[in-house]
Amino acid sequence: MRTAVTRLLGIQHPVLLAPMGGVSGGQLARAVSNAGGLGLIGAGYGDADWLAQEMTHCRDCRFGVGFITWALDAKPALLEQVLAQSPAAIMFSFGDCAAYIPRVHEAGALAICQVQTLSDARRAAETGADLIVAQGTEGGGHGAIRSTFSLVPAVVDAVAPVPVVAAGGVADGRGLAAALMLGASGVLVGTRLYASDEALGLPAAKQAIVHHGGDQTLRTRVFDIVRGYDWGHYTGRVIDNGFTRDWHTREAALAESVDSERRRYQEAVARGDAETAVLFAGEAIDLIDEIEPAAEIVNRIVTQADAALEWKPG
């Protein structure tokens, strides 16, 4: 399946791994790249030693690294550390990446910018982004309020001829086919690849993805409050659990008792308690019913999309 994205990135399939912090490590990125997509390691909040270790898994394949832009602002040396490993692309999300794009290009890599609004999409195009990811609110993890179905074609029109990738709610080939019909040139897949053999993260989180549905997700700030992260106006889509039932809509009370709750939260994460730990996941978990190798997931998405694009209503 050839698109503007496959030509730009030099890959076989228009499927990119979302750089999920603590989930998209080197082994998962490698598996996606070897299956014909592009694997992006998630740099998360910026652990240099962890990032160095994960990149060793990708020495003989095309890969990229995704940064939370405001976290990179606090640790800019991480960009040089990554560029020294010759990645194919660097992805930026949640912040103004204009200052970083020239250095990425100088190093011979492509700059991917994820956006949640039309104004941010235009800004990314103006500052030299090679590829723009339009992220809808259906996606797991942090995001904003626009839906994928309406945001993607609007971004496509606004930033042409810069190619666009759709993100948020894509878990099978129907999602890829729909994204292509909306004018995107590929998809960024997160939650579906979280439920893969190679993904990092809590085993209980993978099981929760398999056994819950989209109706059991919500956008909330409570996990950012308890972990001490300031995400501004962005919220995180998570699977509803005991912690959200205790604190969602009671954010002020959580902030007042955050010291004791943080200790309790950290202890729960250490023992793998899925009723307390954050379980980032998107609405498309209805479509996920087993944990599989990443290559099988990528290949099935592409095969299903090919079939969907050939189907004619009758």
Over residues 135-153, the pLDDT tens digits come to: 999 999 999 999 999 999 9
Q: What is the pLDDT of residue 220?
A: 98
Rounded to 5 degrees, φ, ψ at 235 are: -115, 165
Q: What is the pLDDT of residue 314?
A: 63
pLDDT at residue 61 tops 80: yes
pTM score of the predicted model: 0.96
Cβ-contact 5, 88 below 8 angstroms: no
Q: What is the pLDDT of residue 1?
A: 86
Over residues 269-296, the pLDDT tens digits come to: 999 999 999 999 999 999 999 999 999 9
pLDDT at residue 15 tops 90: yes
DSSP string, 15-78: EEE---TTTS-HHHHHHHHHTTSBEEEE-TTT-HHHHHHHHGGGTTS-EEEEEEHHHHHH-THH
pLDDT at residue 312 tops 80: no
pLDDT at residue 311 tops 90: no
First to last CA, the chain: 25
Find the mean pLDDT for residues 253-263. 96
pLDDT at residue 156 tops 70: yes
Find the mean pLDDT for residues 185-208. 97
Find the mean pLDDT for residues 181-187. 99
Amino acid of residue 40: L
> Domains (ranges, CATH) in the chain?
4-200+289-310 (3.20.20.70), 203-270 (no CATH)
